[in-house]
Amino acid sequence: MIPVTMGAAREETRPAARGVTRAARRRRDALSGYAMIAPFMALLVVFNLYVFWSGFRMSLTDGQGINAGEFVGLQNYRDLLWANPFLSADFWRAVRTTFLYMFGCLATQVPVAFVLAYVLNTIPLVRTRAVLRAAFFLPVLINTVVTALLFRMFFNKDQGVLNHLLAAVGLPHDINWLMNSDWAIPLLVAVSFWQWTGFHMVYFLAQLQTIDPSLYEAARMEGVPPLRVLRSITLPLMRPAVTFVMVTSAIGCLQMFDLVFMLFPNATYGPGGVAKTLVAFIYDQGFSQQFLTGLASAIGWLTFLAIAGVSALQLRVLGLGRHGET
């Protein structure tokens, strides 16, 4: 009732407010608007836009450490992409590792998360569903560093639980997981699978529950087979959620660093550095070996371009969610 009277009041005051004060009020609104966004915008400019801009400028120099260095044009980019054989070999290997990791993650996490959410959604027992959802979500709450250390113990050759489990079921159990270059990337994918599948599942589950039950009811009355229901009702309506999960997790995968840094001992990024991702490469060049900040910034920009390209491609292929905020 109160909102109604207030609405009426507003209607009545409008004509009076119009005219003389309107321009002044609008100017005042604009000024307060600028004043209110100013703190955020200042921080945004300093910590985001300026950082990106100065990263770009830095990538055109041969700066080392805190020395600004000389302007060298696109030399860093040229070195990375083809000119310097040692650097470009390392760079392309990092690109390969990062993309393999991303494909591995997307191919395992998204379908499994979808199936889990779908099955979970069919279970009518509310409390069982809540407990299971919590069980799948729990790994998300563990810090990546802790996760990596936990799995470092898990994959240990002689004392690790994994080899013990394999021995218990009679499989070969003398694999030195963390020291085998073939296994480095699959291990990263496996740990990420454990860590993130539940997160995607919860998102899918939330989206599944927004689907109007009357659609399913209608399909049931028409006698539509379950697979057809999945293909024609569930999947199209889940598209925004799938797009969101694919895009955000691809972006996250391409930036992966903490897991590979902590999973393998002594920051070696796997045996011979086979699992060195792009961000790990940045860290290596910029902070731990020779402090080549110019070069590291160039890798940063190339990584950024790769992320932007992958996101654009995914949005093009999967289509932007028509439901707005997904």
Using CB under 8 A as the binding rule, the residues of this chain from 246 to 305 that contact another protein are 251, 254-255, 257, 278-279, 282-283, 286-287, 293, 296-297, 299-301, 303-304
8 A C-beta contact, residue 190 and residue 104: no
Span of 4-12, 180-188, 234-242, 261-269 interacting with another protein by CB under 8 A:
4-12
Binding mask 185-224 vs another protein (x if CB under 8 A, - otherwise)? ---------x--xx--------------------------
Residues 7-46 within binding reach of another protein (CB under 8 A): 7-10, 12-13, 26, 29-34, 36-37, 39-41, 43-44, 46
64 touches another protein (CB under 8 A): no
Q: For residue 247, what are its two tokens? A: 């895009």
Q: Which of 132, 179, 215, 320 touches another protein by CB under 8 A?
A: 132
Give the integer Cα–Cα distance in Å for 173 and 222.
Answer: 53
Q: Which of 51, 74, 218, 235 touches another protein by CB under 8 A?
A: 51
Number of residues forming the site for another protein (CB under 8 A)? 87
171 touches another protein (CB under 8 A): no
Residue 132 or 215 having the CB closest to another protein: 132
| Beta-sheet strands, E only, within the chain | none
Binding mask 89-128 vs another protein (x if CB under 8 A, - otherwise)? ---------------------------x--xx-xxxx--x
Q: Which of 217, 235, 210, 233 is nearest to 324 (CA)?
A: 210
Phi, then psi, of 194 in degrees rounded to 5: -60, -40
| DSSP annotation of 264 | S
DSSP character string of 227-295: HHHIIIIIHHHHHHHHHHHHHHHHHHHHT--HHHHHHSGGG--SGGGTT--HHHHHHIIIIISS--HHH
Q: Which residues pair with 71 in a beta bridge?
A: 61
8 A C-beta contact, residue 310 and residue 254: yes
Span of 101-109, 146-154, 234-242, 260-268 interacting with another protein by CB under 8 A:
146-154
Output the CA–CA distances (angstroms, integers) from residue 85 to 149, 207, 274, in the order listed.
35, 48, 17
58 touches another protein (CB under 8 A): yes
